[in-house]
Amino acid sequence: MFLFILVSLLFAVLIYFLFNLRSFFNRKSLPLPPGPKPWPIIGNLPHMGPMPHHSLAALARTYGPIMHLRLGFVDVIVAASASVAAQFLKVHDANFSSRPPNSGAKYIAYNYQDLVFRPYGAKWRLLRKITSVHLFSGKALDDYRLVRQGEVAVLTRALASAGLKSELVNLAQLLNVCTVNALSRVMLGRRVFGDGTGGKDPKADEFKSMVVEVMVLAGVFNIGDFIPSLEWLDLQGVAAKMKKLHKRFDKFLGEIVEEHKMNSHDAKGKQTDLLSTLISLMENPDDEEEKLTETEIKALLLNMFTAGTDTSSSTTEWAIAELIRHPEILTRVKNELDSVVGRDRLVTELDLPKLTYFQAVIKETFRLHPSTPLSLPRVAAKSCEINGYHIPEGSTLLVNVWAIARDPDEWAEPLVFRPERFLPGGEKANVDVRGNDYEIIPFGAGRRICAGMSLGLRMVQLLTATLIHAFDWDLPSGLTPEKLNMEEAYGLTLQRADPLIVHPRPRLTPKAYEV
């Protein structure tokens, strides 16, 4: 074993010097972007630290908004300003439309068979089209508006019941159950977790832990991804954990698909949900080019049940936490909701466009707490020039969404939670989060922008508005809003270090909580 490790390290050293020599000759006359000096072999991996989006933001203050790092043998370009991000994601979007190799896609996402990590091409466009038409189009979102409102109403009743019993609740867990069931009713035609309340449901608890684990593992900078000759050693144990987690997800998803195959159509043979459509494309496609495999279906379901649920629930949790910490803002939002909705019913999606100040609160939450602090990596199909620097072919691109949204050159008082900046007359009155304004891109931008952006926005807005409108929120005894822990737990998505534990107190008339 020692001999194998020694040979692997020597081979890695040889490849390192050859790689540097090739990069030197391929660079031509343009310099690489500035960046910290890499260590031998491992490069700048030690610079990433436990919270890479923080570490990279600090490095950008020294080296500038476009940086070059060497992670192992991989060139990595980091964009840390709105203008630089626009160069990559708008001007050079086509060149950066694919994903680099990574262990998460290999071991968890069915070896790149999903939508999120699949290389750009015909099959990726097919999967994107299927989800866009059947799940995320304006028509599909309107068709299933009552489903989302129904699941939020179930959550509201569960919280009201807990409130009347003076119980504390783990808001993150209940939000996750709600988002999973809202999505699964559209995708599968049924809830995944019981009656939707999430109360005493071990399957819901296990699923939440699986989703958090996949986001944590996918956010690790795995040495094997950057030094391929050391991949087999799995020095951090990441690959082994990914393989084990994949088996759990595959069992969960496999049971869903097999059950649905037995009952994928209604009595008239009409397709009733997304999974039925996917199964028909597997069994009887109209066009062979649109034929899907069962693995591709499970990979797509994996995307939806992880990225499509945890991001919405965690963003809502951050929003409630910020409002608890800022009671004057919370009061203003409640007053707006009471004036538009009243106190005799729950918020509906039709109310949301009328809530001007509330919409600003949501934008400010996305700014300070983007669900994906570092964009999912992209790869340069060919070398190019950006801002006078040489970007090598095969470079991995990381956009520091978190740092851009806190850039003092773009934002006044960037660390302050101040929704007024998005109101008429504010510094960013016309800025939106949908990928066109690069100073705030929580969903990314360009070809690989988050496919579920429209659904995510609706869920976050509906959940947050309902929780603010329907309840007053008390913290556990002895904890004041000023002392509420707002630290982050890094992963592919931005979780709270401590889940938000709160006591909900109903504030509407009793009939508002009735079935």
Q: Tell me the binding residues for heme.
A: 450
Tokens 């020039």 belong to residue: 385
Alpha-carbon 38 to chain mean position = 30
Inter-axis angle of helices 171-187 and 453-470, to 10 degrees? Answer: 130
Is the separation of the CB atoms in 317 and 175 below 8 Å?
Answer: yes
Is the separation of the CB atoms in 391 and 77 below 8 Å?
Answer: yes
Distance CA 513, CA 326 (A): 26
Structure tokens at 393: 């072919």
Sequence-ordered alpha helix ranges (H) in 122-266: 122-131, 138-143, 145-164, 171-187, 202-218, 223-226, 238-261
Report which of 319, 289, 395 is spatially closest to residue 26, judged by C-alpha positions.
395
CA atoms within 13 A on the CB side of 369: 26
Task: Classify residue 8 as exposed, middle or buried by CB count within 10 Å of its CB (0-12, 13-18, 19+).
Answer: middle
Structure tokens at 383: 């070398």
Distance CA 330, CA 323 (A): 5
**Which residues line the annotated binding site?**
450
Distance CA 127, CA 360 (A): 33
Distance CA 77, CA 68 (A): 5
Beta-strand relationship, 501-506 and 495-496: unpaired
Distance CA 355, CA 242 (A): 42
Task: Classify residue 25 as exposed, middle or buried by CB count within 10 Å of its CB (0-12, 13-18, 19+).
Answer: exposed
Tell me the C-alpha to C-alpha distance, in Å, between residue 120 and each of 144, 368, 378. 29, 30, 10
Distance CA 185, CA 192 (A): 8
> Collapsing DSSP states into helix, strand and coil, what is residue 407?
coil
Structure tokens at 258: 């097999």
> Collapsing DSSP states into helix, strand and coil, what is residue 374?
strand
Q: In what order do the strands lie in the sheet with 169-170?
A: 169-170, 501-506, 471-474
Size of the chain, expressed as the number of residues it contains: 515
Amino acid at site 410: E
